[in-house]
Structure 1
Amino acid sequence: MDNKPSLTAIILTYNEEVHLERCLRSLNTVCENVVIVDSYSTDKTEQIAKKYNARFFQNRWVNYATQFNWGLENTDIDTDWVIRIDADEYLDKELQNNILLNLNRFNKDVIGVRVKRLMYFFDKPLKKGGMYPIWHLKIWRNGVAKCEQKWMDERMLLLQEGEIENVEGNKIDYNLNNITWWTSKHNNYATREAIDTLDKLHNFTNSEEKISNFFGTSEQRRRWLKMAYLKLPLFVRPFLFFFVRYFVQLGFLEGKRGFIWSVLQCFWYRFLVDVKIYEAYRAVGKNKEQLILYFKEEYGYDVTNVS
């Protein structure tokens, strides 16, 4: 299409033949270029990428942020804008149309664009229980952002001051794998979440404390709420989190799917994180150096260096 904005998509992949074509079809109408950074897939990921003329690179996986930043720095992106999207996500028609309509019209002061994520679970969208709308910075001017180095929930960090606009439409998060895959993935996530939690409490990485303020920006409010949650007692907070998501934020209105999601994501996963923290404390206590050694020996993670 002649009116495509100057936009490149970056997708990280590993064995994503189930999802990738759906993602690439949705990007085809809005992106001049698509860059795929693959972690040496063994399925048909590369063939699908080349079918859609995506630029295909391979790099050894370290973690999400390192891989994504490698893509930003080493794939010669020359468009004005960049969009971050996962292989199991895609843009709905409304978002595609609004990107086409608005991206080229923003003035130079606009350096970032937020879009809404809409999660699907058991083949239907989740809109209750605090799941929607969730706005994330997903589009930015080339060169003004990088992915933050964290163990979990890595977000894009803007490297300069500027305006951020919202664009209507949804980035659909719709994974097609089964619940066994989901629980296995979240078991691994729980280890990293436990490390991320303990890093905030013990500062393994000796990083500067970021501003948290309930009345500040959305990011500052999120950090404030996160720290408030972390100060609650182990094993109590998963019950409270489930209660808020399922009852206060009306997750029960999603029916059986909402109950399953709330139990698994809001209770089981959070409870598992607390169990892994409890296990670490039980093994070596709350001494910072002993905890660093514990995660190195038990899981092979150097928690002092997230990258």
Structure 2
Amino acid sequence: MDNSIAAIILTKNEEKHIARCINSIKGVCEEIWVIDSFSTDKTCEIAKDLGAEVCRHEWKNYSSQFNFGLYECPIRSEWVWRIDADEYLSGNLGMAVKTALARCDHGVNGVFVRRRIDFMGRPLLHGGWYPSYYLKVFRRGHGECECRWMDEHICLFDGTTITVDDGDQVDANLNDLTWWTEKHNCYATREMADLLMAEYGLDDRGANVEAKFFGTEDQRKRWLKKRYAKSPLFIRPFINFIYRYVFRAGFLDGKEGFIWHILQGFWYRTLADAKVYEIKKRFNFDDEKIKAYIRQEYGL
């Protein structure tokens, strides 16, 4: 079996992270493609020095940028690995995936790997955040990134999947909280659009992951997202916080866990709800006008 892999990394001013990311996949990925959104720091120079191919492309959203790399770059490898610039491979994950690809059945077109989030230097091992498995590796020509504004996943056109859990794909951003909150303010706008699309059933065209509670991690997350979108504004962030921090034992991750669950589980989701409310109030809660606005501004 051909187990050659091309990594696709999206970047915008990632000079703090890009070397760590690329070094973690060297010897695992035969090709490394960096799709850069016109960085103004040394991201591109560092990536090129480490042997990556760099293409520049204007940013619209994550899915369109990733799929640009997937379809427009002259990738030669059999497999594609989706990895963000602030992520890296830990343990033996890279070589374990290479071995699994060399041995897998011809009908296998995707690989789920275990993802871990580190926040303020601490791994978040509770609150339902770990262990979690995501489809990060897929056979070229048999999958792409689904077209959504938020929580986009890799979807397969056909075939089956396997899971490799010998190590983690670690999300460990090194920027400070000021940067984090500014980024999540932008995320909240995308989340607002995604929530309104889900509430009004406007996201079906871009959604390729089936919403299923008893399914993969991606399918269960999509099922929960649809239910969340139909829950009452401003109450749902509070419920989310209590569920993850108390009932899923997020408090066991110490002060860093407390900050994470307050900011990511409550503040960020409350901000997204406030933006949903702002849009609804602007159009006097007229569903048809709201849907027309969403289609015009955020249609995919």
Please classify the TM superposition score into its range, dividing by the shorter chain length. Answer: over 0.9
Percent same amino acid at aligned positions?
46
Partners in 1 of 2:205 and 2:231 — Cα distance?
A: 23
Q: Deviations over 1:76-107 (max 9, x none)?
A: 11111110000100001321231233221112
Change (3 A) 1:88 1:292: same
Change (3 A) 1:147 1:77: same
Partners in 1 of 2:150 and 2:219 — Cα distance?
A: 17
Change (3 A) 1:81 1:208: closer
> Residue 5 of structure 1 contacts residue 30 of structure 1 at CA under 8 Å; is this kept in 2?
no
Q: Deviations over 1:4-26 (max 9, x none)?
A: 94111001111111100000100
Change (3 A) 1:156 1:177: same
Q: Deviations over 1:241-295 (max 9, x none)?
A: 0000001100001111111111111111111111111111222133344225656
**Which AA in structure 1 matches 2:93?**
L
Partners in 1 of 2:185 and 2:218 — Cα distance?
A: 26
Change (3 A) 1:107 1:37: same
Aligned twin of 2:225: 226
RMSD of Structure 2 on Structure 1 (CA): 2.0
Picking from 299, 302, 305, the partner of 2:297 is 302
Q: Normalising to structure 2: TM-score of the pair? A: 0.93
> Residue 6 of structure 2 contacts residue 80 of structure 2 at CA under 8 Å; is this kept in 1?
yes
Moved more, 111-120 or 215-224: 215-224
Aligned twin of 1:55: 53
Partners in 1 of 2:236 and 2:195 — Cα distance?
A: 13
Aligned twin of 2:83: 85
Change (3 A) 1:212 1:96: closer
Aligned twin of 2:70: 72
What is the deviation of 1:216?
Answer: 4.7
Aligned twin of 1:242: 241
Partners in 2 of 1:15 and 1:87 — Cα distance?
A: 10
Picking from 103, 106, 113, the partner of 1:105 is 103
Aligned twin of 1:167: 164
What is the deviation of 1:46?
Answer: 1.4
Change (3 A) 1:57 1:283: same
Q: How does 1:256-275 map to 2 (within 5 A)?
A: 256-275=255-274
Partners in 2 of 1:208 and 1:195 — Cα distance?
A: 13
> Residue 40 of structure 1 contacts residue 59 of structure 1 at CA under 8 Å; is this kept in 2?
yes
Change (3 A) 1:195 1:47: same
Picking from 168, 190, 193, the partner of 1:192 is 190
**Which AA in structure 1 matches 2:73?**
T
Partners in 1 of 2:133 and 2:216 — Cα distance?
A: 13
Partners in 2 of 1:17 and 1:236 — Cα distance?
A: 39
Q: Per the alignment, in what secondary structure is the counterpart of residue 297 of structure 2?
A: coil
Unaligned runs of 5+ in 1: none
Partners in 2 of 1:165 and 1:130 — Cα distance?
A: 22
**Which AA in structure 1 matches 2:280?**
Y
What is the deviation of 1:231?
Answer: 2.3
Q: Deviations over 1:183-226 (max 9, x none)?
A: 11111111111111111112346739875343455444333322
Q: How many residues align?
A: 297
Partners in 2 of 1:134 and 1:221 — Cα distance?
A: 11
